[in-house]
Structure 1
Amino acid sequence: MDLELRQILDVQLVQSNEVKSSYWMEMEGLTRCLKRVEEEGIVISDLVTDRHPQIKAYMKKEKSDINHWFDMWHMAKGVFKKLEAIGKKKKYKQVGDWSRSVSNHLYWCAASSEGDGELVSEKWLSILNHITNVHEGHGKRFPKCLHGDLEDRDWIKKGSLAFQEMEKVVNGRLLVQDIKKLSPAEQTSALETYHNVVCHFAPKALHFFYGAMKARIYIAALHFKKTPAGIKL
């Protein structure tokens, strides 16, 4: 999908028996789409996906000429779910109380940094100071918080059990590594909307043979192109 034009560029239908396992289907679909689009003479400068391990490795090794970004919604959702799960335990309740604020902070980090990965990283890690009511001394690129005076809230004590659990999530090796590639602008929300349109024409609860399924996803792509954003089926 072209995220700026909100148009489907190509559709590929991959069957599980065409690859090693269902885990490889997403990767196969992407490589087919990229090949088809490139054959049509379309130059891809940037690609936004989730953090699928195979896709990350493939883009780094085989498509290094394309700027590969990660979708904010997927990453923020993952952070929120981890913190929310931890917060369900009584001794870590504060982690759950801060879960939404921390995941929202991730959006701000990416949206306010114009694709500067190092700046995104510093802003993100500053949350470990912020939750302890420390708002300066974060790093060279982002030395202090930009907010004004704050009302009192349930700050987390540095070194406490709740802080240690929060730190494990916020400072996770893969998360800190991938956060530098958060997309500052375009996201995959429009693609998620298209998937909902596909589910309308081809409900997951029903089985369709290959030909019928292919026809239905083509119809979904055509319908999506003609449907204004925000219009429900």
Structure 2
Amino acid sequence: MFGNVMISNSTDPDKGRYKDLGIHHSLDMWHGAKNLEKKIAAAAKVKGQSILLHWLKDIVNHFWWCCKTADTKDHFLALWIGICHHVCNIHTWEMGSCQHSDLGEGLGKQWIQRDSKSHKALVGIVFNKRWLKDVHKYLRFRSTADLESFQNHILMYASKRFAFTPPVYEARVLLAALDYNFHRNRPTSATCEGKQILRRLYNKHARRYSLYALKSEKTYKYISELQAKILNQRLTSGVGMPRRRSLRPNDPRTRGVVPPVPPPPISELMQTQVSRGLGM
């Protein structure tokens, strides 16, 4: 806890000691949206507030849009509080208005009644002091999703369950990088008619399904080229292939594990040792 306070104080944009160095403390947008989603989902589980689930995606999307659009914290707050009015079908208020176009007959969703139990719960989340205290750290709209994806990809080649020597680990990471870079932008799968193949994914918090495009199978075309280069490097290196050498007759490794004390007679061990299944 003390360490977190020290980091926050050091990276404060107004009075932190890193201010003059131009260092800014940013938080991951994806994690911010995920935390907001969890708070709304938890509030929707309370009796009489299930309507918040229908607005969960819209509220999270509004948070993304506010962080991407706003340049300052005040600008963010002016946009962010609009969700409290929008869900009640109020699109113009004293301090501002919604930025969307005319909705016509509506979104096809049930509007939340103003000052209802659900609306008060949403207002409590939107105006949460702890939430708003760090909201300026999302305004640079940064995410480490690509980096985390690559780190997960490395685990396919170098699992944490196994120990590797530095050269072996480096080689596995290089293979993971080759695989990731070669297949990162591969096209999505399509049917014979050319239609994109889609799959459904269920979100337990929002209690709804979403779609994602299925990517084509990996080809690993770079493997043959890599093997050819390795073989060519070996043939042109001028170094012969390593050969197995037989151990000398007097090599101590042929004796196996040498105990520090001489072994006692078998008869003596039979008297002192009790073994299952031998009747001793």
Q: How many residues align?
A: 180
Q: Which of 85, 89, 111 is the matching residue for 1:133?
A: 89
Partner in structure 2 of residue 83 of structure 1: 40
Q: 1:57 to 1:169 in 2, by over 3 A?
A: same
Aligned-partner Cα distance in 1 for 2:182–2:6: 33
Which residue number corresponds to residue 57 of structure 2? Answer: 100
Q: Which residue of 2 is the match for residue 112 of structure 1?
A: 69
How far did 1:127 drift? 0.8
Cα deviations by residue, 1:39-89 (Å, 9 ceiling, x for unpaired): xxxxxxxxxxxxx77654442344332122222211111101111122123
Residue aligning to 1:144: 97
Deviation at 1:215, TM superposition (A): 3.8
The aligned residue for residue 167 of structure 1 is 123
Q: Which amino acid aligns with 1:155?
A: W
- Percent identity between the two aligned chains: 24
* Structure 1 residue 213: Cα displacement: 9.3
Uncovered stretches (5+) of structure 2, i.e. residues with no partner: 187-214, 219-280
| Rg larger for | 2
Partner of 2:275: none
| SS of corresponding position for 2:37 | helix
Per the TM alignment, residue 93 of structure 1 is displaced from its structure 2 partner at its CA by: 0.4
Correspondence 1:176 to 2:176: no
Which residue number in structure 2 is paired with residue 70 of structure 1?
A: 27
Q: TM-score, normalised by structure 2?
A: 0.54
Unaligned runs of 5+ residues in structure 1 are: 1-22, 28-51
What do the CA deviations read for 1:141-193 (whole angstroms, capped 9, x no partner)? xx111112221531112221111211221111122222223244442221122
CA contact (8 A) 1:91 1:162 kept: yes
Give the CA deviation at 1:220. 7.1
Bigger RCO (CA 8 Å, 6+ sep):
1
Q: CA RMSD in A?
A: 3.3
Normalised by the length of structure 1, the TM-score is: 0.63
Question: Structure 1 residues 53 and 215 mapped into 2: Cα distance closer, same or farther (>3 Å)?
Answer: farther
| Paired letter, 1:112 | T
